[in-house]
Amino acid sequence: MGHRLLVFYGSYRVDRMGIRLADYIVAGLRARGDEVELIDAKAVGLPMLDRMYKEYPKGEAPPAMQALAEKIRQADGFVFVTGEYNWGMQPGLKNLTDHFLEEWFWRPAAIASYSAGRFSGVRAATAWHGTLGEMGMVVISSVLAAGPIAQTLDAEAAPIGDGGKALARAFPRFADDLAWWVEAAKAQRDRRKPPY
């Protein structure tokens, strides 16, 4: 039986290239038998953070926030697909994640990064690692990095060139590591209720 996974993507730009990497990961995980949903921050459209989900009285959170909170709680694990903006995180993805906290706890997260340049978004991935850990997730050690994104995946999210070959070689290890941590976290939650 597959795992329930959410893939988060956060660019709000008009000509979004990183969606190629998000689509590639969704397709790859589905091919392995997982139940995967892409959560596009732009499509969800949460406002700039004013109140976290937990700060609303029960039943009074905006409908999009309520629906996403439920999806996060039901997921077995997460993949965060992040671009690099001036050595840092995408604000759209960070804003979306900051609306929640306890909903993320005790599940693993994986990071996939991209950029238009040769560093493939790795500086953003490094920043996300500490942030996701602080938000109660175990971050797996395997990271996918695609860049330059336009020379790694075509418009249909198919690998191209040397970058695409490297991405295709790295993906199985990335997915295997995520699956291992998903299964470990499930087993531990079944064995012992989380402490708080």
Token pair, residue 36, equals 């995967």
* pTM for the predicted model, two decimal places: 0.96
Q: What is the DSSP letter of 146?
A: E
Whether 123 is covered by a domain: the verdict is yes
Amino acid at site 150: A
Token pair, residue 177, equals 């590591």
Find the domain containing 118 and state its range: 4-191
Q: Which helix (H) or strand (E) holds 129?
A: helix 122-134
- Collapsed DSSP state (helix, strand, coil) of residue 30: helix
pLDDT of residue 80: 98
pLDDT of residue 193: 84
Whether 196 is covered by a domain: the verdict is no
How far is it, in rounded angstroms, from Cα 131 to Cα 114? 18
Each of the 196 residues of the chain gets a pLDDT tens digit; together they read 699 999 999 999 999 999 999 999 999 999 999 999 999 999 999 999 999 999 999 999 999 999 999 999 999 999 999 999 888 899 999 999 999 999 999 999 999 999 998 899 999 999 999 999 999 999 999 999 999 999 999 999 999 999 999 999 999 999 999 999 999 999 999 999 888 7
Q: How many domains does the chain have?
A: 1
pLDDT of residue 85: 87
Whether 96 is covered by a domain: the verdict is yes
Whether 64 is covered by a domain: the verdict is yes
- Collapsed DSSP state (helix, strand, coil) of residue 7: strand
- Collapsed DSSP state (helix, strand, coil) of residue 158: coil
CATH number at residue 142: 3.40.50.360
Whether 146 is covered by a domain: the verdict is yes
How far is it, in rounded angstroms, from Cα 158 to Cα 15? 18
Whether 158 is covered by a domain: the verdict is yes
